[in-house]
Amino acid sequence: MKTITVVLILLIGIGIVFWWSNRTSDSLEEVSLPGEVGTVSIPADFTSEYEDDSTLLAYPRGPECISLRFTSISFTTNDGSENGGIEYVRCKSREENLPLWEYPEKVAVSCEEESMENGTPLLMKYWDVGSKNTLLIVSATIIRDLQSDRRVRRTLKLMPEIIRSVMITKTHRTVEDDGKRVEATVQTLEPSPQKIELFSDVEEKWRNDSLVAAKRLFLKYGTANSNTPDELDAIFSAWMHHPEPKESSDEIANALGAAFGEYLVLQNGFRWVVVTDEYGTEYAVRNDIGETMAFPRASVQKRIENGTEEFFRNIYVIACDQLNRAKENGQQPNGADR
């Protein structure tokens, strides 16, 4: 009798362990979409990995039965609109007679087809999600003979919630500048604590010293002895290609950053401030209209690190565009180029 009892307890224990190790949950967790264009929520117990810069792969643990892929494509439109992703999906819905799912700030369509891979029959389900100027292609690859697997059924049951969770935070648009098209990327961020203070005597000394250093750079590398964005681009490029020894990266960031910030102050009504937030403390110029801000010194430091040239003009055009948009519609764009 004792032997039977022990065996039953062992069997029950094994069953509990098996259930626990294979349990599933309908809870979702947020992950970043490829290209950092936004976020999506996937089952919390899924394994996720980035196949490349544009594709996120997610799948349940255990034998292969279903896998999800999220591929993002961001673009700008010829007419400068910011709803290219939405319009693309609407057009696809009309042309292919597909039901259109409408959500706040996004739309989606879905379709499916059968496929074959290495002799294995597959069922492919697709969802095209359009939001702002981004198209997110979501695909579910299902082994056709395992459609009744609980992990497959559970994943498909959650797909409407997964699609609903898609949040695109980057907007890609073009800005016209004297017949040239400047591509701008604006990211919508959750509000975060931010302390903004006017320059004190200490910061004013940095500004004055840096502007004096900028004048030396104008004489050495420039042609116009001015701090216009075009001239600053020419000076920065000349410094980049000048043989050693030459000015340090810190001196260039301080001098050209101060010169560019001063140009925004004098030409566009910005004012110098010190910003302290989750990223640290940095000098910035700020315009009260739309709370538009730029971080001149940090912008130069960033380009020195990645070797980008001819950026002052683009930053200026984008800052002016955001300022004009704020004047026109009262919106508060995130103008921080940091």
Which of 108, 135, 170 terminates a domain? The answer is 170
SS3 225: coil
Per the structure, the count of domains in the chain is: 2
- Does residue 310 fall inside a structural domain? yes
- Look at residue 75 in the predicted model and tell me its pLDDT: 74
Same domain for 208 and 286? Answer: yes
Does any domain span residue 176? no
**Domain encompassing residue 35:** 28-170
At 271 the pLDDT is 96
Q: In the prediction, which pLDDT does 197 show?
A: 95
Q: What is the pLDDT at residue 187?
A: 57
* Residue 145: predicted pLDDT: 95
Same domain, 200 and 154: no
**pLDDT of the residue at 160:** 94
* Secondary structure element (H or E) that encloses residue 91, with its range: helix 84-95
Same domain as 309, residue 263: yes
Which residues does the chain have with pLDDT short of 50?
A: 6-8, 11, 14-24, 332-338
- On whether both 156 and 257 belong to a single domain, the answer is no
Write down the pLDDT at residue 47: 94
Compute the distance between CA of residue 245 and CA of residue 226 in angstroms, rounded to an integer: 24
Give the model's pLDDT for residue 186: 59
Same domain, 203 and 162: no
229 and 148 in one domain? no
What is the Cα–Cα distance from 327 to 338, expressed in whole angstroms?
23
Query: Which two three-digit tokens encode residue 193?
Result: 């604590």
Same-domain status, 166 and 203: no
Task: Specify the pLDDT at position 19.
Answer: 41
The pLDDT score that the predictor gives to residue 335 is 43
Whether residues 194 and 66 share a domain: the answer is no
Structure pTM? 0.60
Number of other CB atoms surrounding residue 334 within 10 Å: 17
CATH number of the domain within which 88 lies: 3.40.1000.10
CB 255 within 8 A of CB 214: yes
Length of the chain: 338
State the maximum Cα–Cα separation within the chain, in Å, rounded to a whole number. Answer: 101
- Asked if residue 92 and residue 119 are part of one domain, the reply reads yes
| pLDDT on residue 53 | 74
pLDDT, one tens digit per residue, over 89-138 is 999 999 999 999 999 889 999 999 999 988 999 999 999 999 988 899 99
Is residue 77 located within the same domain as residue 211? Answer: no
